[in-house]
Structure 1
Amino acid sequence: MIETLTIRRVGANEASAYVDALADVLIDCVEGGASVSFMWPLSRDKAQAFWRNVAEGVARGERALLIAEDAAGDILGTVQLVLAQPENQPHRADVAKMLVHRRARRKGVAQRLMAAIEEEARTEGKTVLVLDTVTGGDAERLYARAGWQRVGVVPNYALMPDGALCGTTFFCKQLSAAD
């Protein structure tokens, strides 16, 4: 566990200011083999463009962005809540881009980010959360331990950063205000 870890939601201006630090986390995760929509090598320009787009989504109220930072203010991890959903799904949100820098893994960062994003979803009035992850990966076990329900697997759904096909497991979680 990292004792001095802070998890917090950031606004649009702060998200824009953290583009470089968030790009570092994304690049590290992709370099480490995480299948999070990007191929290796991932250029810094592409990673920064992704985070600028996220910051714009935060500014429009379409996303909530959480960061995990240590006592020195270094960003160790991040997760997003995609709030913008179709008109017939105002109660639902997607959990996206759960990323933890390799130097901070297996120290409780991901677990704390997940607990925080669920609380953020409650604050936003969301009662159904969905996410997807690489089948058989560490994150799949994390979500199951956190009470997420596995709803299915799609074989060969995506590519790993090295180009190998991977299956994707979909999860959901029903929230109530009292959880």
Structure 2
Amino acid sequence: MITRLNTDYFDTALNDLSDILHACVQTGASIGFILPFSKEDAGRYWQERVRPDLTSGTLDLFAIYDEGRVMGTVQLIPASMPNQPHRADVAKLLVHPEARRRGYGRALMNVLEERAKELGRSMLVLDTRSSDPSRILYQSLGFQIAGEIPNYCRNPFEDRLEPTTYMYKDLN
């Protein structure tokens, strides 16, 4: 079951969201964080960076549940600039390592796309570390590669920089 979280659901899901983020970073996901990264760090991210935007309505947060536990999440962030009313960013597609290869990422992205269309958004944009498996998922969902930036992000385990791929999808 996929739910668009409001602040009430967010508070109930916070522990699971923190578990997912923590587990994904520990397994090498390039989602803005590097090791060491504690579960408390994950909780702070959700409370300080996501909750305010969720409360203000500038972000949609989706969660997929399996047996009552959040096992995946993704964020839709509509662009706020006057010249970009047609665009939205996809952020933090996370599936708990224990729940991968079950179609959760694809299902979350499909719901996110439907919400983007409801909001009148016709262009989705995202970035991913070029070597991440998520790039293959995004391409299979119809995202096109716009380009690659070398040395964009730090490897979560080693002191080296890696390229990031920017991708887009036209929803028309």
Instruction: State TM-score, norm by structure 1.
Output: 0.91
Moved over 3 A (4+): none
Which residue in 2 is equivalent to 1:21? 16
- Counterpart-to-counterpart distance in 1, 2:12 and 2:162: 34
Are 1:63 and 2:59 counterparts?
yes
Letter in 1 for 2:147: G
Matches within 5 A, 1:24-43: 24-43=19-38
Number of aligned positions between the proteins: 170
Which residue in 2 is equivalent to 1:135? 130
Shift of 1:55: 1.8
Letter in 2 for 1:175: L
Residue-by-residue CA offset, 1:34-62 (whole Å, 9 max, x unaligned): 01001112122221111113122111011
Larger mean CA deviation between 79-88 and 142-151 belongs to 79-88
- Counterpart-to-counterpart distance in 2, 1:83 and 1:95: 9
Residue-by-residue CA offset, 1:35-92 (whole Å, 9 max, x unaligned): 100111212222111111312211101100000111x211111000012421211111
Contact 1:154-1:168 within 8 A present in 2 as well = yes
Letter in 2 for 1:37: G
Identity level (%): 40
Question: What SS is found at the alignment partner of 1:22?
Answer: helix
- Segments of structure 2 that go 5 or more residues without pairing to the other structure are none
Are 1:172 and 2:141 counterparts?
no
Question: What SS is found at the alignment partner of 2:53?
Answer: helix
Question: What SS is found at the alignment partner of 1:125?
Answer: coil
- Counterpart-to-counterpart distance in 1, 2:80 and 2:127: 16
- Counterpart-to-counterpart distance in 2, 1:18 and 1:41: 23
Contact 1:69-1:76 within 8 A present in 2 as well = yes
- Segments of structure 1 that go 5 or more residues without pairing to the other structure are 1-5
Contact 1:61-1:83 within 8 A present in 2 as well = no
- Counterpart-to-counterpart distance in 2, 1:125 and 1:12: 23
- Counterpart-to-counterpart distance in 2, 1:24 and 1:164: 26
Shift of 1:121: 0.6
Instruction: State TM-score, norm by structure 2.
Output: 0.94
Question: What SS is found at the alignment partner of 1:8?
Answer: strand
- Aligned counterpart for 1:156 among listed residues 132, 151, 154: 151
Contact 2:34-2:155 within 8 A present in 1 as well = yes
